[in-house]
Amino acid sequence: SVQDGLAADFRALTKTLYDLNKALGTNIVRGGPLKELVIEDFDEEQIWQQLELQNNAVLDFFKESIARDAEDEDLCLLSDQEEGGSDAETSSDEELEDNIMETETEQKNVSTKDKTKAREKQSKLGESTKQKYSDEDSDIDFDIEALEQQTRTAKETTLKKMGRKSVVDDKFFKLAEMEAFLEHAEKENREEEEEEEDINYFEDIISDDEEEESEEAEVKPIKSSRDLTYKDFFDPVDDDDLVANDVEDDQEEEADSALEEENPESMSEVEDMNEMMMENMRSKEASKKVTFSLPDDSETEDVTDMQLEKGIDPIEIKSSFEKRQEKMSKKIKILEEELLEEKPWQLKGEVSAQKRPENSLLEETVFFDHAVRMAPVITEETTLQLEDIIKQRILDEAWDDVVPKEKPKEEAFEYKKRITLDHEKSKLSLAEIYEQEYMKLHQQKTEEEENPEHKEIQEMMDSLFLKLDALCNFHFTPKPPVPEVKIVSNLPAISMEEVAPVAVSDAALLAPEEIKEKNKAGDIKTDAEKTPTDKKRERRKKKLRKRMKLREKEKRQKLLEKMKPEQGTKLSKKAAAAQLKKLTKEGKASLLKDEGKDKVLKSSQAFFSHLQDQVRMEIKDANKLKKKEKKQKTLSVHKLKL
């Protein structure tokens, strides 16, 4: 209510002021394009924008002028001695700068650059402000020369400020310089990041007229490539003073040239910005009347870029269809480029660690199946729930105590050993025990056979329940397998494990020792191996055997004589002697006396040899007789002669 009135008053006032200014406007100061400030049906934002236009233009002019004046050496803005004046000046300047800063957070204009250079050259401001300016114009123009200019100035200032020397310093390297450069670069980076995404709404937009004028004003000869010298590329190597002087001398030239070069770019940029602003405003106005489903804001920018590239007159208005077409074609182009390009690693199928950047997987959200149930998230609610359950369980006394599981011992040996020793008095009497045994023996036949169908059904049910248990119970332990019936026969292992068939095997044969008893001594020795003890032992054994035999014989004889006297006396010695006597007495037999002379009868050899001799003798004799007879028979001729 009250505010509204005040606001209206303010607005009217500003309008009059603006109009007045415009009316009185000199040629020197070129303000904004609007001749008068329009306030009817405009809200604050729009009025402010109009003002801004005016202000920016004016401010530019002022900056330029100050820069020019600052170059003038007669005027000194700052000096150490004239602190008061300088301070005032600097303060005023600072204020101005601050104001500018407030209005223009991000500057992309060249003139500011000039100004900063000038300032750096002459003033001894705090680093912060200097830094601000040096960093402000970093983004758009990435000329190497400009960068060099910057670095040079930076170096220069560092030289001026920190003329200290370190141990590492060289003809080419100065530690202080490096540090300064690094700091400078860091700040640039920081500011770059801020600047990147947003459009600089508070940037200075020089109108076309102004730009042309600025161009004309600052036309100066550019250095051709032929004239470039070592100085253009590298810092001077020798004394600091020389460097400083050189730099100072060059800077003027460089500043202008740089400015010159950058201007057209900046101009184009400015044009863009200008157009953008116009377009934005127009589009906004248009959007009030007709709403498009397509988002226009971003695309208008693209449109303007495209226009620039094609070289079309940027102010021409395009029909909506054309705009859409352009967007589509742009989109298509982008997509085509994407398809032609190499795919990012995410779309490349199996990617090992070497094929993707380091730690890139950390930034990706990866989906995969979990084999294990994830641990539950513990919140207060869950804790309370859990406690409730615990309390209820305690009241119910339903402890989930662990039941000790026993491993069933399965051994054939165990089956054998099933006779458990019962140390207590038997409850059944002996009669009952035998009765039970009897019944068991005779009841094997009358076992009732289960219905096979029942068996099948039972088996199926068992398997089903087993599966269900396995599925539902997280701590499922399967039942131990039903013990298979193992037939354990108490046969000797040899008969069970005999490979050869029973008929062929010699498992049942007698062992050699069973056939012939082994010698107690062990080995059987030949006569050569026998020791005298062995021989004597054998002789003794032989004699013993003989003795025993003889005794046996005598016994038998005696027995026989007792039982059957006739048979007994047949073979006895006495009987034989008696018979001999009888015979000799009768004369049928004669006893040969053993006189030693008769060797012939001692041995068979002697006998036969003797016999042989006898026969030979006889033959001889016979022959002799024959000869004699022959001799007698032969008559002499002389005797018979008459």
Partner 1 sequence: SMASPPATEEAEGAFTSVPSRRSRRKRRAAAAMETGEPRPGKRPAFPPVAAEALGVGKGELRKVPVPANRYTPLKENWMKIYTPIVEHLQLQIRFNLKTRNVEIKTCQETKDLSALTKAADFVKAFILGFQVEDALALIRLDDLFLESFEVTDVKPLKGDHLSRAIGRIAGKGGKTKFTIENVTRTRIVLADAKIHILGSFQNIKMARTAICNLILGNPPSKVYGNIRAVASRAAERF
Q: How far apart are CA 260 and CA 111, in angstroms?
A: 11
Task: Report the nearest approach of partner 1 to the CB of residue 441 (Å).
Answer: 8
In this complex, which beta carbon is closest to partner 1, that of residue 430 or of residue 640?
A: 430
In this complex, which beta carbon is closest to partner 1, that of residue 347 or of residue 431?
A: 431
Q: CB–CB of 32/81 below 8 Å? A: no
Task: Report the nearest approach of partner 1 to the CB of residue 413 (Å).
Answer: 11
Task: Report the nearest approach of partner 1 to the CB of residue 529 (Å).
Answer: 48
Distance, C-alpha 284 to centroid of its chain:
57
CA 253, 255, 258, 264: dihedral to nearest 10 degrees? -110
Task: Report the nearest approach of partner 1 to the CB of residue 482 (Å).
Answer: 23
Interface with partner 1 by CB under 8 A: which residues?
Answer: 416-419, 421-426, 429-435, 437, 441, 490
In this complex, which beta carbon is closest to partner 1, that of residue 425 or of residue 520?
A: 425
Task: Report the nearest approach of partner 1 to the CB of residue 488 (Å).
Answer: 9
Token look-up 């076992």 returns 447
In this complex, which beta carbon is closest to partner 1, that of residue 310 or of residue 445?
A: 445
Task: Report the nearest approach of partner 1 to the CB of residue 483 (Å).
Answer: 19
Task: Report the nearest approach of partner 1 to the CB of residue 409 (Å).
Answer: 17
Task: Report the nearest approach of partner 1 to the CB of residue 414 (Å).
Answer: 12
Q: How many of the other CB atoms lie within 10 Å of CB of 355? A: 10
Q: How far apart are CA 236 and CA 246, in angstroms?
A: 8
In this complex, which beta carbon is closest to partner 1, that of residue 422 or of residue 453?
A: 422
In this complex, which beta carbon is closest to partner 1, that of residue 26 or of residue 443?
A: 443
Which amino acid is located at 332 in the chain?
I
Q: How far apart are CA 301 and CA 316, in angstroms?
A: 14
Task: Report the nearest approach of partner 1 to the CB of residue 419 (Å).
Answer: 5
Q: How far apart are CA 2 and CA 234, in angstroms?
A: 66
Q: Under 8 Å CB-to-CB from 76, ≥6 apart: which residues?
A: 82, 86, 122
In this complex, which beta carbon is closest to partner 1, that of residue 428 or of residue 583?
A: 428
Distance, C-alpha 429 to centroid of its chain:
74
Task: Report the nearest approach of partner 1 to the CB of residue 443 (Å).
Answer: 14
Q: CB–CB of 198/276 below 8 Å? A: no
In this complex, which beta carbon is closest to partner 1, that of residue 432 or of residue 554?
A: 432
Q: How far apart are CA 12 and CA 47, in angstroms?
A: 11
- C-alpha distances (whole Å) from 191 to each of 97, 105, 186, 576, 578 are 18, 10, 9, 158, 163
Task: Report the nearest approach of partner 1 to the CB of residue 485 (Å).
Answer: 15
DSSP conformational letter for 397: T
Token output for 461: 């049910």
Locate all alpha helices (DSSP H) within 311-449, ordered by sequence. 320-340, 360-363, 380-396, 412-416, 430-442
In this complex, which beta carbon is closest to partner 1, that of residue 444 or of residue 590?
A: 444
DSSP conformational letter for 173: -
Task: Report the nearest approach of partner 1 to the CB of residue 407 (Å).
Answer: 24
Q: At what angle do helices 240-289 and 110-122 cross, to 10 degrees?
A: 150
Token look-up 């207590």 returns 424
In this complex, which beta carbon is closest to partner 1, that of residue 373 or of residue 418?
A: 418
Q: How far apart are CA 631 and CA 549, in angstroms?
A: 70
Distance linking the first and last C-alpha atoms of the chain: 234
Nearest C-alpha neighbor of 107 from the set 190, 31, 204, 210: 204
In this complex, which beta carbon is closest to partner 1, that of residue 253 or of residue 437?
A: 437
In this complex, which beta carbon is closest to partner 1, that of residue 417 or of residue 454?
A: 417
